[in-house]
Structure 1
């Protein structure tokens, strides 16, 4: 009896020590998070007083935006078409480049394992630089206009889409691939006929997502001179022409909403 009681007491003491240790770790994690957000709040320059002062000013500006200026709707429609075209061509170019890069960056099927890590590093570099920054660089290289926006979208999306494609290929079941390889077929043939049919629907869905995303992202590329409706948006902001600005924003919302619905419908059909 005494031995059993002693063992129970030891178990209780061990549990208390473990609980104390877990509680200490929890407090340390909470303190670290609080310190992180305190520093972040200061570095981000959060000033609620400025917000309280600025909101009424913004409200007065918005009050002057009614009624919207509809005189330039044909121009806005053409600029919006430029934006959609930039996103479409940039996304298509990125996906075409992403497919072979995804094979190199896929650990299970890459033909040159030594290039696996360099391929991943290259894709991470492309993903780490936003299309806005790429567009800014290409404006300096090729001049103002939509072409710089297409190149900026293509490079950033190339890295992001290829990384996702490579992850899809790595998670695919390799049984059919190995069976086709066992017949003497080449690696590319096995990928096309054994792996791609399984991952093609999710790749197409991802492509549609990136096209939809790039339409939204490219609306601001005009700020750096990369063409599209963003150029007119920037001009209206510079001139404080709020009726014109509201019209542009309304056009963007209508087009983006329509494309979101269309893209969602297509993804559901592919699922």
Structure 2
């Protein structure tokens, strides 16, 4: 005894069968198979070229792993005799990140207003502002620090300037994106009362965006603490200076202590930054 299906069920089954037929037909299409084969060939060639340019050598890796194991064995036990010095250098690193990030955030806010298409007071400066931010973002803080070491001499101040310039471009770009994606209803409402553009931005737009802007600033502070640990390699002070000295002297127990200290501090800052961002958003 056959069970008759309602018309809606028959239509649904027919629609599903038609969709499956189209899918299978598409897969069997010679043109689609040819495009997929061409894409696979392009990817193979691209990654083969990258392999050559990166000079990947698995034989060297296999030969070097025993050396790495020997160095790790020499790193134990860690050398804690200079722990007060390491703590001071780590403090310099955190100070560089804090000052550089704060200066960058303060500079980024007015630049973000200028680089936001929906609220910029000078539309003709929109693209030049964006180009400047792209230039600052395109040069790493490591390179900036190297340049400022030549300008202001060795020490953490060069690191502060390097971090500030790179973070200025990166943070301002993110600020501008947040502003462009925000609704301008409150801003226009305040403008209708006769308030100026600057007053409307300060009292109508920024209060709504402040939590996400502060969260972005915290992210960059956390990132800069990690990034500034290597600025000492170019003479910009901080824990990176001791890290480089230990590597130059092949003092692996001292190097292990420095790396362990960096990991502990960065982990704690990650937790603190994450907790603060949750409270802001």
Q: TM-score range by the shorter chain?
A: over 0.9
Over 3 Å counting, the alpha-carbon distance change for 1:182 and 1:73 in structure 2 is: same
TM (norm. structure 2) is: 0.90
2:29 alignment partner, one of 1, 19, 27: 19
Distance in 1 between the 2:29 and 2:123 partners?
A: 47
Distance in 2 between the 1:193 and 1:19 partners?
A: 59
1:96 alignment partner, one of 106, 124, 127: 106
The alignment status of 1:263 with 2:279, answered yes or no, reads no
- Residues 87-140 of structure 1: per-residue CA shift (max 9 Å, x gap): 000000000000000001000000010000110011000000100000001001
Corresponding position of 2:140: 130
Cα distance, 1:148 vs structure 2: 0.4
Corresponding position of 2:189: 179
Distance in 2 between the 1:16 and 1:154 partners?
A: 53
Corresponding position of 1:194: 204
2:47 alignment partner, one of 29, 37, 40: 37
The alignment status of 1:58 with 2:68, answered yes or no, reads yes
Distance in 1 between the 2:73 and 2:245 partners?
A: 19
Distance in 2 between the 1:133 and 1:47 partners?
A: 28
- Which runs of structure 2 are paired with 1:64-213 in the superposition (5 Å)? 64-213=74-223
Corresponding position of 1:4: none
Cα distance, 1:17 vs structure 2: 10
Aligned to 2:236, the other structure's residue is in SS state coil
| Alpha-carbon RMSD | 1.5
Distance in 2 between the 1:16 and 1:243 partners?
A: 62
Cα distance, 1:23 vs structure 2: 2.5
Cα distance, 1:193 vs structure 2: 1.3
Cα distance, 1:16 vs structure 2: 6.4
Cα distance, 1:24 vs structure 2: 2.2
State how many pairs are aligned.
259
Distance in 2 between the 1:248 and 1:80 partners?
A: 9
TM (norm. structure 1) is: 0.93
Corresponding position of 1:226: 236
Over 3 Å counting, the alpha-carbon distance change for 1:108 and 1:52 in structure 2 is: same
Cα distance, 1:33 vs structure 2: 1.4
- Which runs of no fewer than 5 residues in structure 2 stay unpaired? 1-21
Cα distance, 1:25 vs structure 2: 2.1
Over 3 Å counting, the alpha-carbon distance change for 1:16 and 1:173 in structure 2 is: closer
Distance in 1 between the 2:82 and 2:266 partners?
A: 19
Aligned to 2:29, the other structure's residue is in SS state helix
Distance in 2 between the 1:161 and 1:226 partners?
A: 22
Contact kept in structure 1, 2:26 and 2:32, CA below 8 Å: no
